Chains A and B, each alone.
Chain A
Amino acid sequence: MNGPLIVNALAGLLIVTSLLVTSAGNATRAARLYAAQSLVLVLIFLTLARTHGAHELYWWSVSAFVTKVVLVPWIMLRTLATLPEKEDLPGVLSPAALIVVAALIVGLSCYAVSSVHLAVVDPLKPALGVSLGHFLLGLVCIVSQRNLLKQVFGFCLMENGSHLTLALLAWRAPELVEIGIATDAVFAVVIMVVLVRRIQRSMNTLDVRQLTALKG
């Protein structure tokens, strides 16, 4: 089988799942879709590990599976279960607008990486473009969502994007680095979720538009 071809195809699937996470009707569904997307990421790591013959990337897949497919969705679902009120907080972008924005971002990202000349990623340029695009799509999710928990998912999407970039460009980095990054990601989500719960308790809402006490 052609490794780079599979990686590039899976990277495309990553974008689709990321759009689904962003446009998911409620945070519970977003959490499940995020788990699915992380599974795609793990599959990419496994394919890359086979392609490069790199044992490090097998470890990356294991740690990504534990942290992103299991731990983070579990934390999110558990938090959702404790939040009393289910609010309807639609995002700024409609699904159709989101698809247009995503197409533009991925197109621009692929164009941007086309000028990158690194032997290690030459056959994987589409995937590299997608990883950058995915990172930026996470940013779009953060700025376009009103629900605080959906913003946390936006951060997770950005994180998956940069994780893919790392797997494509920096898989030779020492294992300790990967441990640091994975720990950071889980801690970031835990801290964000704890803050979300405290905000919900104090203000009785998850609407980011209610966070208006500080200006100027």
Chain B
Amino acid sequence: MTSMELLPALLLVPLVAAALAFASRWAGAAAKPLVTLIHAVSMTVLLLGTLRLAGELLQVDQIAALHGWMQVDSLGAVFLGLVGVVGFLIGVYAIGYMNYELAHGAIDVGRLCNFYGIFNLFVFTMLLAVTANNVIMMWVAVEATTLGSAFLVGFYGKRSSLEAAWKYVVICPVGVAFGLYGVVLVYSNGVAVLPVVGDASSWTALLFNAQLLDPTLVKLAFVFVLIGFGTKAGLFPMHAWLPDAHSEAPSPISALLSAVLLNCAMLIVLRFGMIAAKAVGPSFPQTLLLIFGLLSVGVAAFFIVVQRDIKRLLAYSSVENMGLIAFAFGLGGPLGILAGLLHTINHSLVKALMFCGSGNILIKYGTPAMDSVKGILKVAPITGALFIAGALALGGVPPFNIFVSEFMVVTAGLAAGHPWLIGLCLLLLTVVLAGLVRMLAATVFGAAPDNVPRGDTGALTLLPMGVLLVAMLVMGIRAPAPVGQLLARAAAQVQTGSQPQIAQAPAPGTAVAPTPDATPAAR
């Protein structure tokens, strides 16, 4: 199978798996093993497929399919790789977690089938969001991620989880509708000025011709896009849905929301940021990203310090980290972009580990409240140790990966001439570290409650966390050569793609021309 065929086929896998998972409920006694097998196969194919595509993008600049409706470039490959790798690990964890929920009567087999069905549907929508090249389809895909995951947020049907789901389905579509306005402004401007009318919905074509776009419209559009997709990425002040949704969803879904979904929205902000930078110069999008990023870090830092609920704390940490990623992109320059991309990967790995850890804690203690969770190290030593490592990593402690990317953000900030902003950012990150250490002190150590049974939660819930820890250490000490190469290519793409001076030509060896969207030109 060529990579051009693999790309759409890869999207079909979770879609078909979702349909089969929904249908498995009628398999009688075989429903549970059958649906688990379907899910496991889907996740494995997802992992292998994304790794192959990411690997090929080390050789070519772009893989496109379906007449240019879909494309993955080096930048997209970073995010596609995250969906694949982190999605796979969370998918494996979900099997262990949901088996426990089933065994303890929290759900029945029918709902297990629904869970895996919606899980795969959700993965499909995220794949669509990172591979869409049609700008309006990008919006459709992000909107679909909300609709695909709404029932996962309200999965437990409790008062609080239904409330979280309601906020999620109201705030996100409303927010993302602002994004649609931004997209439509760019598109309609493209229709007016692009040499080929049919190209106006193609992101590659819009970027290629960005200098033809009207500067006022592009600025307006970027504001709309930042508000719209920034809502979905969890940036302050549009983050209101995030702490509720992340804390009320089943833990594997919290992990998927935080470690994978937020990145998909950030990718689209970045893609429009590139168009804006090329059309009106980098300072406009960068300033906005700096402001929203730093505000997100600041507000989240203080919420982290006062949280009494582990999952809510982790949710605010997602706001903080997405803020830091936006901040890094806002600093710009090769270093800032690289730092932002590296931090995206690092945050995904760590946050997936932490939400999986919070899931294990919920299995043992039945609550994420810090007042009740004590002595994790005594109750579940492996979970406890992994949780400590994750929390320290999240706080930016070496030798873990987030230290490297945060250090790179600082370097990029100093290089870009923002010492005061960096000083402020470091202060806020110290507050975050304090909040995380406070959480560890309250939960990991101390005497365990008598009513909590001793013993860890089982291989399927621990193994993915172990793999994530190894990945965090590897990324913290020395990133593997292919990852480093891919990141460098992606950063270079963002940098050169958004520079007005350099006329872009498709690099030799690319799979397709950059503007393959083929609708009739003149009407």
Question: Closest CB of chain B to A122's CB: distance in Å?
Answer: 11
Determine whether the beta carbon of B169 is less than 8 Å from that of A162. no
By a CB distance below 8 angstroms, the chain A residues around B244 are 214
By a CB distance below 8 angstroms, the chain B residues around A62 are none
By a CB distance below 8 angstroms, the chain B residues around A139 are 174
Q: Is A22 an interface residue (CB 8 A)?
A: no
Determine whether the beta carbon of B201 is less than 8 Å from that of A198. no
Q: Is B60 an interface residue (CB 8 A)?
A: no
Determine whether the beta carbon of A188 is less than 8 Å from that of B169. yes
Binary contact readout A154-196 vs B (1 if CB under 8 angstroms, 0 otherwise)? 0100110010011001101110110011001001100110111
Binary contact readout B143-165 vs A (1 if CB under 8 angstroms, 0 otherwise)? 11001001100100111101111
Question: Closest CB of chain A to B122's CB: distance in Å?
Answer: 13
Binary contact readout A199-211 vs B (1 if CB under 8 angstroms, 0 otherwise)? 1001100000001
Q: Is B100 an interface residue (CB 8 A)?
A: no
Determine whether the beta carbon of B162 is less than 8 Å from that of A177. no
Question: Closest CB of chain A to B225's CB: distance in Å?
Answer: 14
Binary contact readout A131-172 vs B (1 if CB under 8 angstroms, 0 otherwise)? 010010001001000001001000100110010011001101
Q: Is B385 an interface residue (CB 8 A)?
A: no
Determine whether the beta carbon of B166 is less than 8 Å from that of A191. no
Residue of A whose beta carbon sits closest to that of B185: A169
Determine whether the beta carbon of A170 is less than 8 Å from that of B163. no
By a CB distance below 8 angstroms, the chain B residues around A198 are 154, 157, 162
Determine whether the beta carbon of A177 is less than 8 Å from that of B166. no
By a CB distance below 8 angstroms, the chain A residues around B181 are 132, 135, 162, 165
Binds B, one of A5-13, A80-88, A96-104, A113-121: A113-121
What CA separation (Å) do A187 and B148 show in the bound complex? 9
Question: Closest CB of chain B to A113's CB: distance in Å?
Answer: 10
Binds A, one of B133-141, B204-212, B401-409, B465-473: B133-141
Instruction: Please tell me the number of chain A residues within 8 Å of chain B, measured between CB atoms.
Output: 46
Determine whether the beta carbon of A170 is less than 8 Å from that of B136. yes
In the complex where A151-B170, A211-B163 touch, is A173 in contact with B154 (Cβ < 8 A)?
no
Question: Closest CB of chain A to B5's CB: distance in Å?
Answer: 20
Determine whether the beta carbon of B173 is less than 8 Å from that of A188. yes
Q: Which one of A120, A135, A148, A188 contacts B147 once the chains associate, using CB atoms below 8 Å?
A: A188
What CA separation (Å) do A85 and B197 show in the bound complex? 53
By a CB distance below 8 angstroms, the chain B residues around A155 are 170, 173-174
Determine whether the beta carbon of A214 is less than 8 Å from that of B519. no
Determine whether the beta carbon of B184 is less than 8 Å from that of A165. yes
What CA separation (Å) do A140 and B79 show in the bound complex? 36
Determine whether the beta carbon of A199 is less than 8 Å from that of B166. yes
Question: Closest CB of chain B to A87's CB: distance in Å?
Answer: 16
Q: Is B248 an interface residue (CB 8 A)?
A: yes
Q: Which one of B144, B184, B197, B248 contacts A166 once the chains associate, using CB atoms below 8 Å?
A: B184
What CA separation (Å) do A170 and B307 show in the bound complex? 45
What CA separation (Å) do A211 and B167 show in the bound complex? 9
Determine whether the beta carbon of B248 is less than 8 Å from that of A214. yes
What CA separation (Å) do A119 and B217 show in the bound complex? 13
Determine whether the beta carbon of B169 is less than 8 Å from that of A195. yes
Question: Closest CB of chain A to B238's CB: distance in Å?
Answer: 13
Question: Closest CB of chain B to A31's CB: distance in Å?
Answer: 18
Q: What size tier do the contact residues of chain B reach?
A: 35 or more
Determine whether the beta carbon of A191 is less than 8 Å from that of B151. yes
Binds A, one of B90-98, B186-194, B341-349, B423-431: B186-194
| Residue from A151, A191, A198, A214 having most chain B Cβ neighbours under 10 A | A214
Determine whether the beta carbon of A191 is less than 8 Å from that of B147. yes
Determine whether the beta carbon of B303 is less than 8 Å from that of A216. yes
Q: Which one of B158, B177, B187, B519 contacts A159 once the chains associate, using CB atoms below 8 Å?
A: B177
Determine whether the beta carbon of A120 is less than 8 Å from that of B188. yes
Q: Is A92 an interface residue (CB 8 A)?
A: no
What CA separation (Å) do A181 and B179 show in the bound complex? 13
Residue of B whose beta carbon sits closest to that of A54: B523
What CA separation (Å) do A186 and B219 show in the bound complex? 31
Residue of B whose beta carbon sits closest to that of A52: B523
Q: Is B214 an interface residue (CB 8 A)?
A: yes
Residue of B whose beta carbon sits closest to that of A139: B174
In the complex where A142-B174, A216-B303 touch, is A172 in contact with B197 (Cβ < 8 A)?
yes
Q: Is B306 an interface residue (CB 8 A)?
A: yes
What CA separation (Å) do A55 and B312 show in the bound complex? 50
Determine whether the beta carbon of B160 is less than 8 Å from that of A184. no
Q: Is B216 an interface residue (CB 8 A)?
A: yes
What CA separation (Å) do A171 and B247 show in the bound complex? 41
By a CB distance below 8 angstroms, the chain B residues around A121 are 188
What CA separation (Å) do A195 and B161 show in the bound complex? 11
Determine whether the beta carbon of A120 is less than 8 Å from that of B192. yes
Determine whether the beta carbon of A172 is less than 8 Å from that of B159. no
Q: Which one of A115, A165, A170 contacts B216 once the chains associate, using CB atoms below 8 Å?
A: A115
What CA separation (Å) do A159 and B173 show in the bound complex? 10
Determine whether the beta carbon of A181 is less than 8 Å from that of B216. no
Given A151-B170, A214-B244, 17 further pairs, Cβ under 8 A: A117-B216, A118-B189, A158-B174, A169-B185, A173-B187, A187-B144, A188-B147, A191-B169, A195-B150, A195-B162, A195-B166, A195-B169, A196-B166, A202-B158, A202-B159, A203-B159, A214-B247
Residues of A whose CB lies within 8 Å of any CB of B are: 54, 115-121, 132, 135, 139, 142, 148, 151, 155, 158-159, 162, 165-166, 169-170, 172-174, 176-177, 180-181, 184, 187-188, 191-192, 194-196, 198-199, 202-203, 211-214, 216
The 4 closest A-B pairs by CB, nearest first: A169-B188, A180-B140, A213-B160, A211-B163
Residues of B whose CB lies within 8 Å of any CB of A are: 69, 134, 136-137, 140, 143-144, 147, 150-151, 154, 157-160, 162-167, 169-170, 173-174, 177, 180-181, 184-185, 187-189, 191-192, 197-198, 200-201, 214, 216-217, 243-244, 247-248, 303, 306-307, 312, 519, 523
